[in-house]
Structure 1
Amino acid sequence: MANRQRIQTPENGPDARAAALTSYPQVALRLGLNPHELMRRFGLDPATLMNREQRIPFSSLCRLLEATAAESSTPSVGIQMAEARTAFDFGVIGLLLAHKRTLREVLLAMVHYRHLLNDALGLYIETVGTQVIVREDNLCEIGVWPRQTMELAVGVLSRTCAAVLGPNWRPVSVHFSHSAPPDLRVHGRIFGCPLVFDSEFNGFICLASDLDQPNPMADPELVRYAEGLAESASAAGRQTVVAEVRNAIYLLLPVEQAAIEHVARHLYVSVRSLQRHLEEEGTTFSNLVDEVRQELAVRYMSNERYPIGRVAALLGYTQQASFTQWFSRRFGMAPRTWRANRQR
């Protein structure tokens, strides 16, 4: 895979706000570990806990939480951190979210200002009949599946929804793509709804009507004030067009919507404008789709729980034969052979 190209945010790849670690010390201490010692092991300065707006490498965050779970034999580290977090703990974005008119507006604002929260996690909202799927996706390769970080992200997102709707927040189900831990008591306490593990996505399903319930804390004046501050911060922090397009493809490919028209709509630009920007940066939309498809192919094929037919569908192929032809050209062997070689 030496020829694989990855367009990331500057220097150290995707990052996140140090606020992601807000509740880490108390959880680590509760589990009998030294939080500062563990943070230093993964290149994280404990002093960043005093500046929650500082950016930290996403890969370091993931590895820290996985090591904490392993060394404490506690697979619920991410969920415990989410439970200990304060609602709307997102800096200036938190002020904006807390006072939006509806949960739908809150989620759309999180999509719009994602680059100010976490460059490596994407949020996608899909309406299916009377229900809505809210999906969070890891958009980068870090060498280890960030189980704890995904549970932290989904837990914080669910708590944000609960803070907006109060007792009216009743998700249909919460989903995780990894397997279930032996003890689900903490998960049951924070989500209070059916849990689905080994799912095809990370996130939750709720009723479409929930998204349009009024937020009792709504305040348009505060929202306008916060939006001004957020846009100022965005001016210096936005990703390149290429990075934004790749992230959108990551989110839309598994739901068969990674056509350029859908991506352009997702990014609020016209197709022609999007093509022009990509040409200026020396690439094309089809090249980016192929790059992302290759990265996702490795991720999904490495997971034996995914049948090859399902991997084909997740990569946007309606026919498994077409996927096999593409995979063989790209990797030099058929999918079954590649998976067999990896198992050996």
Structure 2
Amino acid sequence: MFNKPPMITAMALGQMPQFAAAELGEKKAETALQAAGLSPYFLEGRCGYIPEHSLAEFIGGVARRLGYDGLGLLWAPYLTVADYGTWGRYVLSAPDLGTALRRAQKEMQLHSNTDRVHMHVGYNVVTYSYDFGLKGHPSYPDIAYSAIAVILSIHRHFLGSRWSPLRIEFNIPKISIVSRIEETFGCPVSFGNESLRILFPSHTLGQPNPNMTQCGQVSRQDILRERVIGPPESLVQSTQDLILAQLSEHSISLDAAALSLGMSVRTLQRHLNDEGVSFRGLVNDALMHRARELLAVDGNSVGQVAAALGYSSPNNFSRAFSAFFGMSPRRVQKVQL
């Protein structure tokens, strides 16, 4: 059985799309998003989950267009867990640094379906490591810099913006820009390690939140309300999420879905067939359930819903809807309203 594709909240894009738009121009930033299988919507919005392959491809595409080695270092100062919605607010509303880091570790399952965080508390030193689900991608070094920047934003919320760790260990080969990396993060770094991790003094774990008035005001249930289902746990669910995102953009495409997931169209079709479904069937399911939602909106006619979903005529839509649900759109509309 095919392993689930690594997926991550779209909020992990942080300020990257805005940075790309500022450096490249909005049109080129949109092109970089689309080339990675992402919608231009992500220049502003951050809803849902995206394939980590698309995230990595977007980062790599921007780096190539800028001709810049070490892009993750360039935008590291602008990345913060505060941009991660309720998840980030829950982490930053902890009473102390130790609790904040443990929250991030425990709730990583709501951030990504594959990424994990591990914390080891020694007598003098804490080791905090991050395991990204797609380490083999060529853009991984920039992803590693970005991940470190986001983790450090948690520490600096409690310890101040000038705080730096004892050392950062990268699980990438040594490269020529060591001095730039150390300057960006303000500490010594090493390479070729087994995991990506930050080392810092144990005594800092007890540092209280500088904004105590916000402590306890965000709960785990708030995250669940924002991220209702959580990250997809299978290829079928990941494909369904991509179809829903495409549907909102009125541009459903098998090619774009395969690109987002980092595989060929034929490979995606084969894996879906192995699961007993097809891309066309998943699209039809999405269209029909969206149709039912739109029919429940006061003032929407059957013709308007048909047009919104791309059907050539209300009659074609009605036939498809009736075949799927066993009753006509007008009948369903009367029942729902």
TM class by shorter-chain length?
0.5 to 0.7
Within 5 Å, give how 1:39-78 maps onto structure 2: 39-78=33-72
Q: Alignment RMSD, CA only?
A: 2.8
Per the alignment, do residues 105 and 150 of structure 1 end up closer, same or farther by CA in structure 2, a change over 3 Å counting?
Answer: same
Tell me the CA shift for residue 124 of structure 1. 0.6
Report if aligned partners of 1:174, 1:204 keep a CA contact under 8 Å in 2.
Answer: yes
Which piece of structure 1 moves more, 90-99 or 13-22?
13-22
Report if aligned partners of 1:27, 1:77 keep a CA contact under 8 Å in 2.
Answer: no
Q: SS in structure 2 opposite 1:74? A: coil
Q: SS in structure 1 opposite 2:31? A: helix
Which piece of structure 1 moves more, 196-205 or 18-27?
18-27
The aligned residue for residue 98 of structure 2 is 104
The aligned residue for residue 221 of structure 2 is 228
Within 5 Å, give how 1:198-213 maps onto structure 2: 198-213=192-207
Report if aligned partners of 1:80, 1:186 keep a CA contact under 8 Å in 2.
Answer: no
What is the TM-score when the length of structure 2 is the normalising length? Answer: 0.60
The aligned residue for residue 277 of structure 2 is none
User: Counterparts of 2:108 and 2:176 in 1: how far apart (Å)?
Assistant: 33
The aligned residue for residue 82 of structure 1 is 76
Tell me the CA shift for residue 71 of structure 1. 4.3
Per the alignment, do residues 167 and 43 of structure 1 end up closer, same or farther by CA in structure 2, a change over 3 Å counting?
Answer: closer
The aligned residue for residue 324 of structure 1 is none
Report if aligned partners of 1:175, 1:202 keep a CA contact under 8 Å in 2.
Answer: yes
User: For each residue in 1:120-160, what CA deviation from the matched residue of structure 2 results, as whole angstroms up to 9, or x when unmatched?
Assistant: 32111112331111111123576546221122111111122
The aligned residue for residue 12 of structure 2 is 20
Runs ≥4 residues deviating over 4 A: 29-33, 140-145
User: Counterparts of 2:7 and 2:231 in 1: how far apart (Å)?
Assistant: 12
Percent of matched pairs sharing the same residue:
20
The aligned residue for residue 295 of structure 1 is none
User: Counterparts of 1:133 and 1:141 in 2: how far apart (Å)?
Assistant: 20
Report if aligned partners of 1:175, 1:197 keep a CA contact under 8 Å in 2.
Answer: yes
The aligned residue for residue 187 of structure 1 is 181
User: For each residue in 1:153-198, what CA deviation from the matched residue of structure 2 results, as whole angstroms up to 9, or x when unmatched?
Assistant: 1111112211221168331101211134433465334311111122
The aligned residue for residue 156 of structure 1 is 150
**Structure 2 unmatched ranges of 5 or more:** 234-337
Per the alignment, do residues 219 and 93 of structure 1 end up closer, same or farther by CA in structure 2, a change over 3 Å counting?
Answer: farther
The aligned residue for residue 237 of structure 1 is 230
User: Counterparts of 2:190 and 2:20 in 1: how far apart (Å)?
Assistant: 27
**Structure 1 unmatched ranges of 5 or more:** 241-344
Which piece of structure 1 moves more, 47-56 or 127-136?
47-56
User: Counterparts of 1:20 and 1:238 in 2: how far apart (Å)?
Assistant: 13
Q: SS in structure 1 opposite 2:82? A: coil
Kindly tell me the number of residue pairs found equivalent between the two proteins: 232
User: Counterparts of 1:101 and 1:81 in 2: how far apart (Å)?
Assistant: 29
Per the alignment, do residues 239 and 102 of structure 1 end up closer, same or farther by CA in structure 2, a change over 3 Å counting?
Answer: farther
User: Counterparts of 1:25 and 1:197 in 2: how far apart (Å)?
Assistant: 28
User: For each residue in 1:240-272, what CA deviation from the matched residue of structure 2 results, as whole angstroms up to 9, or x when unmatched?
Assistant: 6xxxxxxxxxxxxxxxxxxxxxxxxxxxxxxxx
Tell me the CA shift for residue 111 of structure 1. 1.5
The aligned residue for residue 85 of structure 2 is 91
Q: SS in structure 2 opposite 1:216? A: coil
Tell me the CA shift for residue 90 of structure 1. 1.3
Tell me the CA shift for residue 112 of structure 1. 1.8
Per the alignment, do residues 189 and 163 of structure 1 end up closer, same or farther by CA in structure 2, a change over 3 Å counting?
Answer: farther
Report if aligned partners of 2:127, 2:198 keep a CA contact under 8 Å in 1.
Answer: yes
Report if aligned partners of 2:57, 2:139 keep a CA contact under 8 Å in 1.
Answer: no
User: Counterparts of 1:22 and 1:139 in 2: how far apart (Å)?
Assistant: 18
Per the alignment, do residues 223 and 119 of structure 1 end up closer, same or farther by CA in structure 2, a change over 3 Å counting?
Answer: farther
User: Counterparts of 1:21 and 1:159 in 2: how far apart (Å)?
Assistant: 15
Within 5 Å, give how 1:168-179 maps onto structure 2: 169-179=163-173
Tell me the CA shift for residue 36 of structure 1. 1.2
User: Counterparts of 2:128 and 2:218 in 1: how far apart (Å)?
Assistant: 27
Per the alignment, do residues 28 and 224 of structure 1 end up closer, same or farther by CA in structure 2, a change over 3 Å counting?
Answer: closer
User: Counterparts of 2:145 and 2:21 in 1: how far apart (Å)?
Assistant: 19
Per the alignment, do residues 72 and 182 of structure 1 end up closer, same or farther by CA in structure 2, a change over 3 Å counting?
Answer: farther
User: For each residue in 1:27-61, what CA deviation from the matched residue of structure 2 results, as whole angstroms up to 9, or x when unmatched?
Assistant: 43565472211111111111123222332111111
Report if aligned partners of 2:6, 2:112 keep a CA contact under 8 Å in 1.
Answer: yes
User: Counterparts of 1:25 and 1:168 in 2: how far apart (Å)?
Assistant: 26
